[in-house]
Amino acid sequence: MKLIDPNYRDFDTICREFRWRVPEHYNIANQVCDKHTGLAGHPAMFYENEAGEETTFSFGQLGALSNRFANALRAQGVARGDRVGIILPQRIETGVAHLAVYKLGAVALPLSILFGPDAIEYRLRDSGAKAVITLGRHVAMIQDMKQLLPDLQTVISCGGSEGDASFWTLIEAATEQLTPVATKADDPALLIYTSGTTGPPKGALIAHRALLGNLTGFELSQNFFPQPHDVFWTPADWAWTGGLLDGLLPTWYFGRPIVAFEGGKFDAQHACRLMEKYAVTNAFIPPTALKMIRKVADIDRHKFKLRAIMSAGETMGAELYEWGQEALGFQINEMWGQTEFNYLVGNCAPIMTVKPGSMGKPYPGHTVAVIDDDGNELPAGENGELAARRLNDPVMFLGYWNNDQATRGKFAGDWFCTGDVGCRDEDGYIWFVGRKDDVISSAGHRVGPGEIEDCLLKHPAVVQAAVIGSPDELRGNIIKAYVVLATGVAPTETLKDEIQAAVKTRLAAHEYPRAVEFIAEMPMTTTGKVRRVELRRMDQEQHSTKT
């Protein structure tokens, strides 16, 4: 089942000798659940919520529930290729829904529970989702917008009878006997929306084979996962690539249990308690969360079983490496990837030298280079765009949903252009420099300014708005909005709070501008485009003045 031979103790040798073997037919549900016929009684999920309720689900239960729910979805009209929205936190229904969708050959559309109505409505409408599985406030929210969603037929509620159907009622009425659709490796399995610098978010269509493409990096970044008794946990939302393809699905692929916690905002003290309680050995923890854990004063009292942590989503920095070594007893493995082309570069501390500040080296099966604007590889030491070779790499996405032009724009010959700027040193390590475009990396989330600016402009007091990333010690960057107000409107703290709340409510909590600055005039180019470079300069001057 492992792709990497643990007897190999040299990173470069593993990469040099590794070859992908992608079968013609491949289905994520089979790989992470149905193939585990000998693990029916073994735990697949340890669930806990903030009220203290606890439940354990086995792989056998996971298989039976997902078969039943697949049959229920089929009875609701969901067929091969249909998109199914999943707006749920870390809980059993989330995993069951994903597996059921894959078994039908349909396409899972994971959406964050942090999204507000504008963000959800756009993604459901653009994807043409036929069904949605959700709970709580989102049930009524989606019912209210149904007239805007001509393709949406069914809203399935996991927490009551407010929707068109009840998740558990459907499961109880369905049969467990199911013949899954025989999907090919290139068939679509997931549609994950990712933010860009211009226009609305784009849906990255991801094939079943992408799971396989994530595994070499997962195994090595988790220090040769799985080992006996390994238990995995991540605070990352399972609606994102990080939580789903860097956590939940590969953990189940290897037949190991994952800890699911359904709660509110990340709490470092509680995270430590959770990892100790469930004897977590492996984790994906973004740098922002690690910085919060680092501030836990009595961390030494926790009896951790941790042996590996992967961190990604933003640059870690040397301090976190040093803290991990001192406080946890091992080096944290930084990783780099994107929704479209994930788990490309990283570290595996037991078999390679970790250079603090570097993202590591390309993982086995992936080729990453630094290229110029013409697609030519640049020598070591020169900054350029980080690019990945798409040929024969199973982790590469299929393209953007209904957007061939945007898909073509991501490639320069055989190179997938990531939009990240970096360099390679003489030893082959990749170093991140910054973004080529204006996408903001904040607390592990990649946030495009366009959607936020559109939301800001809906406020009657706002005439112009532009968003940038502003340096922040905890989150890497925070979202900062520059706002020009309508004539006669006074800039007040109350108005600032109102503008922030509007974005938080309509889009998502992680997308609201933590800083809002009112300015008299927006810096523009002669062609009428916002000069974000000037806004960044202004912000930098403010930071310099403070220090």
Cis peptide before 228 (omega within 30 of 0): no
Q: Which residues contact 347 (CB under 8 A, 6 or more apart)?
A: 220, 221, 331, 333, 334, 335, 354, 359, 360, 361
pLDDT computed for residue 454 by the predictor: 74
Tokens representing 262 are 């359904």
3-state secondary structure 398-431: CEECCCHHHHHCCEECCEEEEEEEEEECCCCCEE
For residues 196, 445, 312, 302, the Cα torsion angle rounded to the nearest 10 degrees is 180
β-pair partners for 375: none
Tokens representing 244 are 């789903």
Assess contact for 401 and 203: CB atoms under 8 A. Answer: yes
pLDDT computed for residue 197 by the predictor: 56
Concatenating the DSSP letter of every residue in 15-41 gives HHH------SB--HHIIIIIT-GGGTT
What gap in Å lies between CA 116 and CA 221, rounded to an integer?
A: 34
Q: What is the mean pLDDT of each run of 10 residues along the chain (547 residues)?
A: 88 96 98 97 97 97 98 98 98 98 98 92 98 95 95 92 88 97 98 79 97 98 97 96 97 98 91 97 92 87 96 82 91 96 97 93 98 92 92 97 96 93 94 74 74 84 88 88 91 94 87 92 67 86 76
- Most distant pair of Cα atoms in the chain: their distance: 72
What gap in Å lies between CA 463 and CA 453, rounded to an integer?
A: 11
pTM of the model: 0.85
What gap in Å lies between CA 515 and CA 480, rounded to an integer?
A: 5
pLDDT computed for residue 437 by the predictor: 66
What gap in Å lies between CA 264 and CA 273, rounded to an integer?
A: 15
β-pair partners for 525: none
Domain range summary for the chain, segments of one domain joined by +: 56-207, 442-546
Which residue type sits at 296? V
Concatenating the DSSP letter of every residue in 299-358 gives GGGS-----EEEE-SS---HHHHHHIIIIISS--EEEE--SSB-S-EE--GGGS---TT-
Residue in the structure block whose two tokens are 């724009």: 409
Tokens representing 438 are 């204006």
β-pair partners for 369: 387
Q: State in words which class domain 442-546 has.
A: alpha beta
Q: Which residues contact 16 (CB under 8 A, 6 or more apart)?
A: none
Question: What is each CA distance from 14 to 104, 225, 309, 353, 426, in whole angstroms?
Answer: 36, 15, 21, 15, 19
Domains 56-207 and 442-546 alike in fold = no
What gap in Å lies between CA 489 and CA 219, rounded to an integer?
A: 56
Assess contact for 40 and 60: CB atoms under 8 A. Answer: yes
What gap in Å lies between CA 104 and CA 131, rounded to an integer?
A: 13
pLDDT computed for residue 274 by the predictor: 97
Fold of 56-207: Rossmann fold (3.40.50)
Closest to 282 (Cα-Cα) out of 221, 213, 352, 343: 221
What gap in Å lies between CA 160 and CA 155, rounded to an integer?
A: 12
Assess contact for 503 and 479: CB atoms under 8 A. Answer: no
